[in-house]
Amino acid sequence: MILPQRGTYDAFYDDALNIEKIERIMGEMAHNYGYTPIIIPMYEAIELFARSAGETSDIVTKEMFDFVDKGGRHIALRPELTAGVMRAIVTNKLYANYDLPLKLSYCGPAFRYERPQAGRFRQLTQFGIENVGVTTPQEDAEAIILGYKITKKLGFEHVILKINSIGDQESRDAYREALREYFKDKIGDMCEDCRRRYELNPLRILDCKVPYDQELAKNAPKMSDYLNDVSKKRFQDIINILDANEIEYVIDDGLVRGLDYYSHIVFEFHYISKNGTNLGAIGAGGHYDNLVKEVGGPELSSVGFALGVDRLNSLLKEIKPEEYAHPTLDAYIMYMGEDYRDYASKLAFRLREDNIAVDLNYTNKSFKASFKIALRKHARFAIIIGEDEVKKNVYQLKNLETQEQIEVSLEELIKIVKE
């Protein structure tokens, strides 16, 4: 038997339907906010991700699935979708041919070579949005509110929105120097990753997951003390918009995000269980100024976020089992004897033409077995066909919830089932 690869899984029946439901809800909400879908390749030149994510990010240093193809090209499976969206914008000159800002949504697989955990996989599915050509705090706030509202719509009642500002380039340069000064006497005792980050981008030290290093980082200088007036005003403007829309949030000075291209506002959506346990981020995003330029386009500021579909699905299975999707049918057809199999089959094709979801069993199951199948398939109605029904050109229609059964014509059957 061939087993699935580590960090992957098969989704079927309830799981597949619920993932489809999650993606549909997110897509519909993004559409309501003016976003249009974009579909991009699952692999790109590795330079795209090294340039966009930053050489100090875990994605580039540890988690990339990359290979040299038969043509000698160094290729990487996408670890996230933002960089590919930016590349597509530049390649197709969307910034020149469509109105700014470009509001694009995406949903698809990404690949990260990391240790699999509950709800986290090496092949994962991300839904996200990118608003490219952003110039106002209102657009940043709109993206945050959309992500927050999506989590609520999906059924996550206890979500904490964490926000922080990492400022503009001037603010970050000043903050980096302050961090280097703070950590210079401590870095020798810290993990190898932190020592590397100290040289390349000390902001990334704040995102370390090693407990000892986290303790040291607690007393590090705060980004808020190094924001210049421009950065402070933009952050305050966003906070005012969140307040005006009654969006609850927590300002987290330690929030820096894992990718180097962010600037100004960064944010995460954390799910809190009913017993008060923080189960971690279920989505995150932020503002960025230079990413389009980094991949060869003009200087366009942007904002975006991504949500992990697999993690959302695994959590919803636990917290909302009563709302979890399952296979359903409008009706299940059952017939008495093989003589009526073709008659039943013809009816099924006719009903499907009216967008009625129906099924039947071609092996002539007993009525008892057929009713059990109908219930397992969560059919709303049973349609019963026998000798009398064929002679009279009618059908027995049974409501499987109320157990009421009536004799109907084809037209009446279609009307009742569709209602």
Q: Tell me the per-residue pLDDT of 22-63, one tens digit each, with 9 for 90 and over.
A: 999 999 999 999 999 999 999 999 999 877 554 545 555 568
Fold of 329-418: Rossmann fold (3.40.50)
How far is the C-alpha of 245 from the C-alpha of 200, rounded, in Å? 39
- Contact of 83 with 295, CB cutoff 8 Å: yes
The confidence score (pLDDT) of residue 205 equals 87
Contacts of 380 (CB under 8 A, 6+ apart): 328, 329, 330, 331, 399, 400, 401, 417
**pLDDT tens by residue, the chain, 419 residues:** 999 999 999 999 999 999 999 999 999 999 999 999 999 999 999 999 877 554 545 555 568 899 999 999 999 999 999 999 999 999 999 999 999 999 999 999 999 987 777 667 999 999 999 999 988 999 999 999 999 999 999 999 899 999 999 999 899 889 889 999 999 898 988 998 899 888 888 888 887 888 898 888 888 999 899 999 999 999 999 999 999 999 999 999 888 765 667 889 999 999 988 777 788 899 999 999 989 998 999 999 999 999 999 999 999 998 888 888 888 999 999 999 899 999 999 999 999 999 999 999 999 889 999 999 999 999 999 999 999 999 999 999 999 999 999 999 999 999 999 98
Tell me how far apart the alpha carbons of residues 245 and 155 are, in angstroms, rounded to a whole number.
Answer: 20
pLDDT at 57: 52
For 116, residues 6+ apart whose C-beta sits below 8 A from its C-beta are: 6, 7, 122
- Write out the two tokens for 122: 């090496």
Per CATH, domain 14-168+228-323 is 3.30.565.10 = no
Q: What are the domain boundaries of the chain?
A: 14-168+228-323, 329-418
Q: What is the Cα–Cα distance from 88 to 113, expressed in whole angstroms?
A: 24
CA distance 80 to 68: 20
pLDDT in tens, 174-194: 988 999 999 989 898 899 889
Nearest to 346 by CA among 337, 355, 358, 336: 358
What pairs with residue 359 in β-bridges? 332
Do 14-168+228-323 and 329-418 come out as alike in CATH topology? Answer: no
pLDDT recorded at residue 276: 76
Residue partners of 276: CB distance under 8 A and separation at least 6:
none
Q: Specify the residue for token string 């403007």.
A: 237
Residue 354: per-residue pLDDT? 96
- In angstroms, rounded to a whole number, what is the distance separating the alpha carbons of residues 325 and 338? 34
